[in-house]
Amino acid sequence: MDIVKWGFIGCGEATEKKSGPAFAQVEGSEVVAVMSRDAEKAQSYAKRHGIARWYTDAQKLVDDPEVNAIYIATPPSSHATFAIMAMRAGKPVYIEKPMAASYEDCARINRISKQTGIPVFVAYYRRYLPYFQKVKELIGRIGRVINVQIRFAQPPRALDYNSQNLPWRVLPVIAGGGYFYDLAPHQLDLLQDMFGVILEAQGYTSNRGGLYEAEDTLSASFKFENGLPGSGSWCFVAHESAKEDRIEIIGDQGMLCFSVFTFDPIALHTEQGRKEFHIPNPQYVQQPLIQSVVNHLLKREVCTCDNISATPTNWVMDRILGKI
């Protein structure tokens, strides 16, 4: 493989700004085809982004001889189906997060990847952003880490009030859960990238807002493989005054605080006082990870943001939700 020629399955919101343009910017990468079940949407996306071909059938895109790698940007419930379809065709896969709608589906993907030898990567792109690389660098400044806490709260979104046409992210049959399954993966993946796999997890879930059937408020506790305990709370029907996006890493010589979605300044608390770090990210946030994936496929480096490292996050979420 001299150049990675991508075919997109799905061309929704995530592909417009976070990922799509990055595939064209990355060295050794080119987007040659796109697929959506909506013909008008697929054609429009291809035209706006200068992509040669478009499809309404995922199998036809996968079978396109010009396509040698597949990007899956559909809701989680179809990730396993499309990933297996691509692997059976011998084509590497890059999947949007979460890896699938359940831990069970992740295991299915892993079995086929092992059988076929086809690599699978998952879009936990925050691992590769300068902001979170700085967080990892600063952890050594707070001594021995003794506790980790996640706190996240946000008000309902306007679409959440439309009971006749709810967003797919609050429909468990499509998303795997509610907004927790959509947003918490980034938080849990980052922490496991920093501290190792979470081996124990339990949670308490509730629906406090009554806007949809999925859980909207959760509390959880978990323990990493090194014995480090952690906890988290999430509320997706909070008042604006309670809005929060914060992770605290508590050490025996200080504390490190940062956000996952708003990129607030990183705050380091030590005996010397409080110090802030303002770390900018690239215009297309998925670009550093996509470059690593492309380099891996071109045999220039090894990208570890793969299906094996992504699967524990689905296990933790399914444990918290009581699915397993």
Cβ atoms < 10 Å from Cβ of 305:
23
Question: Could you tell me where the DSSP H helices lie in the chain?
Answer: 13-17, 20-25, 39-48, 58-63, 79-88, 103-116, 130-138, 172-175, 179-195, 287-297, 307-320
- What percent of the chain has a predicted confidence (pLDDT) above 70? 100
Nearest alpha carbon to residue 169 among 248, 94, 75, 244: 75
Answer yes or no: CATH 3.40.50.720 is held by domain 4-124+284-304: yes
pLDDT, mean of residues 258-264:
98
Cα–Cα distance between 171 and 179 in angstroms, integer?
9
Q: Identify residue 43 by its one-letter amino acid code.
A: Q
Cα–Cα distance between 127 and 106 in angstroms, integer?
20
Q: What is the pLDDT of residues 202-243, one digit of tens each?
A: 999 999 999 999 999 999 999 999 999 999 999 999 999 999
| pLDDT for residue 18 is more than 90 | no
- Please check whether the two domains, 4-124+284-304 and 130-281, share a CATH topology: no
Nearest alpha carbon to residue 51 among 63, 43, 61, 59: 43
pTM of the model: 0.96
Q: For 130-281, CATH number?
A: 3.30.360.10
Domain regions of the chain by residue span: 4-124+284-304, 130-281
Cα–Cα distance between 139 and 5 in angstroms, integer?
38
| pLDDT for residue 15 is more than 90 | no
- What percent of the chain has a predicted confidence (pLDDT) above 90? 96
- In sequence order, the 6+-apart residues with CB closer than 8 A to the CB of 13 are none
Q: Identify residue 69 by its one-letter amino acid code.
A: A
